[in-house]
Structure 1
Amino acid sequence: MAQSQVQEQKQEQALRQTQNFSQQQLLQAHLVELPINQLMERINAEMDDNPALEAESPGDDITSGNEIYDDGPNDDTVSDDDFDTRNEREERQSALDDALSNIGRDDEDLPVYHGGINTQDEREDMVYGEAVSFYDQLKEQLGEMDIDDRQRQIMEYLIGSLDDDGLLRKSMDGIADELAIYQGLDVTADDIDRVLGIMQQYLDPPGIGARSLQECLLLQVKRRPDSRLKNLMLDVVERYFDEFTKKHWHRIRAALSLTEMQADVLMGELRKLNPKPGASMGETVGRNMQQITPDFIVDTHEDGSVTFSLNSGDVPELHVSQSFADTLREYQENKAGMSRQMKEALLYTKKKVEAAQGFIEAVKMRRRTLTLTMQAIIHWQHRFFEDGDEASLRPMILKDIAEKTGLDLSTISRVSNSKYAQTRWGTFPLRHFFSDSYVTESGEELSTRRIKAALRDIVDAEDRSRPLSDDALRDELNKRGYPIARRTVAKYREQLSIPIARLRRIH
């Protein structure tokens, strides 16, 4: 009997330790993901909730990472000059045409309609600002929906999982695993699929949350009022999507028994569909180029050495309240003869002190994780931090930094997704330093960043009265030692926000 009780106690203790460890891991993962401004908000919320956690205002003697960030006057603004209505319509049509032509090949890099915004200054100086993102807009809509807490939690995670274009490229099973690990939410793929259906049906703009280009277009058509035209559009996207992607309009016209005028109207309406609804939300709000607070301050010295410091901003030094620590010590030293009320006070005090200690450790772990990650990035991309030339960026993926630091791949992803680094050459999101490699037919590995830099140089130097087609751009890149396909040229051109040739022409 005694042995059985001992075993039960050991099992219960082991289970409790495992649960506590998991909660601490979740807290650390959450804090690592937060940029400096949101970290301060999280610390304030924790101090409001836990009286055992106290802070000292940072002073001048705190680490160099507490420098006040001042990037100087910001003259970098996005051009307000828009194309006229006709050119906007042509560019949207071109974007959709390009998206359709890439079906089955580069669906993960669908071209985007930019609404005529010239982003060259933004690309070159890379000063990133706080804008009302489409994620924020979707969350505002979520707050107005009449759904239960469980569905709300799932949908909020789905919104955070969308790509910049508003499409969802994660699997339902993968999201279920992530919800279980990071949110402690036990749901099935079917549960998530049902919530996704609600999101696709009610959130604006239509097409948000689609898992493919075809589904994206279908969602947009289904939101239209019932009409003969809507039914025809549904027929095309559902039943004749292959012909649609290949622009075989004569086959569609014959299959639907349409007159030439009816086919023209149908074609015109289909071309109004947006292949990237998330990007269009960014256009609606505009780009607010306010200053952001970088998480890292990187200094390049005259001798070529590179150092950095963490920007602690207004984040204070945290410690356990002395009064709570003294009270806990007093209770523990006088356990004998405790009243029930004193025991309850002991448990409360102990719980708050342990929570404060765990939070302080999580903040320290965040600092160590960010330091390791930035050290590895600087070591890998040292040449770029020396000369600021994008062509100097080596191919680098999340796995490279994970292996170099010994940190988990998901941890590196969290750090790089939300952090910025101030350098001599501008302020960059950490994602800017990551790029894939392009392997030529001969097996040579080229940095996609270097290829894009060469592509930008070619376009900048072209005769604007006779801009180069994608075929001509491919030939020029081949001459410079970058043997890539025309399709790859088109993809990189889109990623650089470079319009197609006819929209670059200046008469």
Structure 2
Amino acid sequence: MLKQFLNLKLSQKLSPQQIQLMKLIQLPTQAFEQRLKEELVENPALESGKDEEELYEKDEFDNNEDYDEYEDNDSIGADEINIDEYLSDDETPDYKLQSNNYSDDDDDREMPFAAPVSFHQDLINQLNTFILTDEQREIAEFLVGSIDDDGYLRRSIPDMVDDMAFTQGIYTDEKVVEKILHIIHELEPAGVGARDLQECLLLQLKHKTPTEYVDLAIDIIENQFDAFTKKHYEKLLQKYEITQDRLKKAIEEIEKLNPKPGGSFDSSSRVVEQIVPDFAIRIVDGELELTLNGRNAPTLHVSKDYQEMLQTYKDSRDKSHQQKDAVQFIKQKLDSAKWFIDAIRQRQETLFVTMNAIMHFQQEYFLDGEETKLKPMILKDIADMVGLDISTVSRVANSKYVDTPYGTKLIKEFFSEAMKNDQGEDVSTLEIKKILKTVIEEEDKSKPLPDDQLAEILKEKGYPIARRTIAKYRELLDIPVARMRKKI
């Protein structure tokens, strides 16, 4: 049975402007600059420049009533638009409206980009030094195209034979492909085209000048690879009946090899991505000084041409239907431009007050750079200090960098949970990780400390932590288990 009834309830909804503001706050400097360029292209009523005069009054942004007026164009008559709201006689120069709280790096900077030869193209160029038939070259180029960015050929030969037949019309057999693969193995960097780590290391060792230790290393990788990867050095000493020094020298030859031969080429030719700090902290006369990157404070203004269009419409006696449609469009663009300028100002303020609170919360660290002085700090601590929502603080911290006297740091790295020491005091988990890393670095590598012993050592230092927590922190620090840290 169907029933109709009225239900009255309250709900909260974010306006499109609030959503856009949150997105702007989340953007780091470089992404923000890109977003700014897109807005300047999309909205002709918005202009940038240092020498233009501001043609709007700041008080206009205090009235948000006009922001939603143009959401439904058909419901608004052009005669209802108050043209005077969009016109201003304000002749205040631009420089008087700018704050001096920003750095001088807001100039347009262009970086030259290299045009390197790709990894696969370099391999194909090397094939030109070999005498190959047309069929062999087609197979060789197919094999090169199947090599991944690490330099490995992770497909089986039968699969590639079938693939060449179905997709390339190249009919061959496994023996021919195996022969061509040996040619690929002669290319640089050594180890390229290997089908697994063992073959990759062997190829590199065989490219080396033969010596006593290189020959021993080849034998170990070829016949005792499992014992080597598990660091069963006692088994290797007994197997080869050699001294510990000889085994150490052979292992040193293996440790010099590159497990990802393609990665070395890629990293040397890849365009380096720069990190642009969003903030800078300096120590001036023993006090901390925070500045916001000037590239986050662009100079924007509403187009003078668009305001002149509105003035022309206001002064005209005969207002045609086309003119009314045009003024509707102009109004929309002016509203959008004014909101965007206001959103950028709110973004600047939000970024600055949030980072300022973080700086004062971690004042001891920023004054001397000692990581053990980082206090436990969660998003709620900063949100309570600045009166913002936790999600807003998270957006500021998640993708922003700060330039400090101790290097450029990701802001979210300053946040950590608290743990109790043996004195009952709250200490940062970052401090515990730093001490754990130091203990592992200073251990006897011939007898690495297992997690339970590490837990005992930290307990003696005043940090009662369970073994499973030690294992968790060790994995976060990308430190392997004791057996894999063993050296002879």
TM-score computed with the length of structure 1 as normaliser: 0.51
Kindly state the Cα deviation for residue 333 of structure 1 after the two structures are TM-superposed: 5.5
Q: Give, in whole Å, the separation in 2 of the partners of 1:58 and 1:382.
A: 39
Q: Cα distance 1:300–1:289, how it changes in 2: closer, same or farther (>3 A)?
A: farther
Give the SS at the match of 2:376.
coil
Q: Give, in whole Å, the separation in 2 of the partners of 1:333 and 1:28.
A: 36
Match among 391, 395, 414 for residue 376 of structure 2: 395
Partner of 1:35: 28
Partner of 1:291: 274
Contact 1:69–1:294, Cα closer than 8 Å, also in 2: no
Give the SS at the match of 2:305.
helix
* 1:324 matched to 2:317: no
Kindly state the Cα deviation for residue 332 of structure 1 after the two structures are TM-superposed: 4.2
Give unpaired runs (5+ residues) of structure 2. 1-10, 53-94, 108-149, 151-259
Q: Give, in whole Å, the separation in 2 of the partners of 1:329 and 1:374.
A: 43
Give unpaired runs (5+ residues) of structure 1. 1-14, 71-114, 116-279
Give the SS at the match of 1:313.
helix
Kindly state the Cα deviation for residue 337 of structure 1 after the two structures are TM-superposed: 4.2
Match among 363, 373, 380 for residue 344 of structure 2: 363
Give the SS at the match of 2:102.
helix
1:22-61 deviations in Å (ceiling 9; x for gaps): 11101110100100001111111111111000001599x8
Kindly state the Cα deviation for residue 412 of structure 1 after the two structures are TM-superposed: 0.7
* 1:431 matched to 2:412: yes
Partner of 1:133: none
- How many residues end up aligned between the 2 structures? 278
Q: Give, in whole Å, the separation in 2 of the partners of 1:317 and 1:502.
A: 59
Partner of 1:306: 288
Q: Give, in whole Å, the separation in 2 of the partners of 1:23 and 1:501.
A: 54
Kindly state the Cα deviation for residue 300 of structure 1 after the two structures are TM-superposed: 1.9
Q: Give, in whole Å, the separation in 2 of the partners of 1:480 and 1:311.
A: 41
Partner of 1:269: none
Amino acid at match of 1:66: S
Kindly state the Cα deviation for residue 422 of structure 1 after the two structures are TM-superposed: 0.6
Kindly state the Cα deviation for residue 427 of structure 1 after the two structures are TM-superposed: 0.6
Q: Give, in whole Å, the separation in 1 of the partners of 2:347 and 2:280.
A: 16
* 1:475 matched to 2:456: yes
Give the SS at the match of 2:289.
strand
Match among 324, 327, 332 for residue 343 of structure 1: 324
Kindly state the Cα deviation for residue 313 of structure 1 after the two structures are TM-superposed: 2.8
Q: Cα distance 1:497–1:58, how it changes in 2: closer, same or farther (>3 A)?
A: farther
Partner of 1:23: 16
Amino acid at match of 2:391: S
Partner of 2:60: none
* 1:379 matched to 2:416: no
Contact 2:277–2:408, Cα closer than 8 Å, also in 1: yes
Contact 1:299–1:424, Cα closer than 8 Å, also in 2: yes
Q: Cα distance 1:474–1:58, how it changes in 2: closer, same or farther (>3 A)?
A: farther
Q: Give, in whole Å, the separation in 1 of the partners of 2:51 and 2:388.
A: 29
Q: Cα distance 1:290–1:49, how it changes in 2: closer, same or farther (>3 A)?
A: closer
Q: Cα distance 1:58–1:327, how it changes in 2: closer, same or farther (>3 A)?
A: closer
Q: Give, in whole Å, the separation in 2 of the partners of 1:443 and 1:315.
A: 45
Q: Give, in whole Å, the separation in 2 of the partners of 1:357 and 1:505.
A: 64
Partner of 1:68: 105
1:465-496 deviations in Å (ceiling 9; x for gaps): 22211111111111110011111111111111
* 1:46 matched to 2:39: yes
Q: Give, in whole Å, the separation in 2 of the partners of 1:302 and 1:314.
A: 27
Give the SS at the match of 1:482.
coil
| Identity across the alignment (%) | 41
Kindly state the Cα deviation for residue 301 of structure 1 after the two structures are TM-superposed: 2.8
Amino acid at match of 2:23: H
Structure 1 residues 212-231: aligned runs within 5 Å: none
1:172-222 deviations in Å (ceiling 9; x for gaps): xxxxxxxxxxxxxxxxxxxxxxxxxxxxxxxxxxxxxxxxxxxxxxxxxxx
* 1:496 matched to 2:458: no
Give the SS at the match of 1:341.
helix
Structure 1 residues 26-425: aligned runs within 5 Å: 26-56=19-49, 63=100, 65-68=102-105, 290-303=273-286, 305-313=287-295, 316-332=298-314, 337-425=318-406
Kindly state the Cα deviation for residue 461 of structure 1 after the two structures are TM-superposed: 1.5
1:400-435 deviations in Å (ceiling 9; x for gaps): 111111111111111111100010011111101100
Amino acid at match of 1:400: D
* 1:486 matched to 2:467: yes
Amino acid at match of 2:453: A
Q: Give, in whole Å, the separation in 1 of the partners of 2:288 and 2:363.
A: 8
Amino acid at match of 1:307: E
Contact 2:432–2:463, Cα closer than 8 Å, also in 1: yes
Contact 1:69–1:293, Cα closer than 8 Å, also in 2: no
Kindly state the Cα deviation for residue 329 of structure 1 after the two structures are TM-superposed: 3.8
Q: Give, in whole Å, the separation in 1 of the partners of 2:380 and 2:332.
A: 38
TM-score computed with the length of structure 2 as normaliser: 0.52
Q: Cα distance 1:69–1:41, how it changes in 2: closer, same or farther (>3 A)?
A: closer
Q: Give, in whole Å, the separation in 2 of the partners of 1:58 and 1:455.
A: 56
Contact 2:366–2:404, Cα closer than 8 Å, also in 1: yes
Match among 427, 431, 451 for residue 450 of structure 1: 431
Kindly state the Cα deviation for residue 442 of structure 1 after the two structures are TM-superposed: 8.0
Q: Give, in whole Å, the separation in 1 of the partners of 2:366 and 2:106.
A: 19
Kindly state the Cα deviation for residue 453 of structure 1 after the two structures are TM-superposed: 1.3
Q: Give, in whole Å, the separation in 2 of the partners of 1:69 and 1:457.
A: 40
Give the SS at the match of 1:66.
coil
Q: Give, in whole Å, the separation in 2 of the partners of 1:69 and 1:344.
A: 39
Amino acid at match of 2:27: L
